[in-house]
Structure 1
Amino acid sequence: MSWDTIFLAANYWAFAGWLALAFAPRGPKVLALILYLGVFLLCAAYAVMLVGFLTGTIDAGGEGGGSFTTLAGVMQLFASPGGTTLGWVHYLAFDLFTGLWIARDADNKGYSRIVQLPFLFLTLMVGPVGLLAWLVVRDRRARALAKAT
């Protein structure tokens, strides 16, 4: 299977999770499906690729090498199709997990789905910005709910 195919499959898989998160009813079964069929499988794919790269059983398709300790080392990690796909799957898994947490937190705090959608979209597109925006907005209601109990 080519790196392009793996990249596209991971994108489509994550996007299906995002669509379910944004538009499906949020019962416990749907949330569990998003967690285990979405986040878990992306994490598992990441783990398989990472172990394969580290053991040399999967070819990243580039020169290889690199490290996490310098900018040049990280750039070298992302210089191969496999390394870039590995990094992208990492982003997809964590952004979907973060979106799931935002949705569950927003539901628990009584925010409507329509209010949640911009935060979910921001998290999908620019993960940390969506999380930051949600943390700023949720703070007031979280404090009010804490005082009420």
Structure 2
Amino acid sequence: MKLELIFTIANSIAFSCWIFLFVLDQKRWVYKLLFSIIFLIMSFTYLYFIVIGMGAETGGGFDTLANVKLLFSSDEALLAGWIHYLTFDLFVGMWISHNADQMGINRWILLPCLVLTFMAGPTGLLLYILIRMIHSKKLIQEPFSNRLIS
């Protein structure tokens, strides 16, 4: 299968999941679908392409920015890196959506957080954390539940 087609399919799957996450956030099956099927498919696809891409004789490493650039010089490794971003940003979006629902944060206030997480990862997470602090009136947050640290 051509890499451009895999790229298009991965983007389409991720975009569809983001829509499900916002529109159907309170449906438990959405989280099961993401966690049990979509993340597995994306992760195995990532693993396949990272093995192929990093197996190429490109050199590189993680010690300098130039060496990281070399690691991703093959199209397969670049595709794997993109799938990595899509998968992890979607996972963060799932956490944001679920946590906001637990805390009673309005879906429309949450929408910019989800859009930014989809488009610019950590920026959307930052916005959500700030909104969550304002909503809870607490500076220190507990990330794993709706309990807040006093």
TM bin, normalised by shorter chain, reads 0.7 to 0.9
TM-score, normalised by the number of residues in structure 2: 0.83
CA distance in 2: counterparts of 1:41 and 1:65, whole angstroms: 28
CA distance in 1: counterparts of 2:109 and 2:40, whole angstroms: 27
The alignment-based identity, stated in percent, is 37
CA contact (8 A) 2:59 2:71 kept: yes
CA RMSD of aligned residues (A): 2.2
CA contact (8 A) 2:47 2:80 kept: no
CA distance in 1: counterparts of 2:80 and 2:137, whole angstroms: 36
CA drift at 1:65: 2.3
Partner residue of 1:15?
A: 15
DSSP-derived class of the 1:67 partner: coil
Moved segments of 4+, more than 4 Å: none
Partner residue of 1:31?
A: 31
Give the unaligned 5+ runs of structure 1. Answer: none
CA distance in 1: counterparts of 2:97 and 2:31, whole angstroms: 10
TM-score, normalised by the number of residues in structure 1: 0.84
Which of 37, 55, 72 is the equivalent residue of 1:78?
72
Give the unaligned 5+ runs of structure 2. Answer: 140-146
Partner residue of 2:106?
A: 112
Q: Which range moves more in the overlay, 7-16 or 122-131?
A: 7-16
CA contact (8 A) 2:53 2:75 kept: no
Q: Which range moves more in the overlay, 77-86 or 114-123?
A: 77-86
Higher helix share: 1
CA distance in 2: counterparts of 1:70 and 1:26, whole angstroms: 43
CA contact (8 A) 1:121 1:130 kept: yes
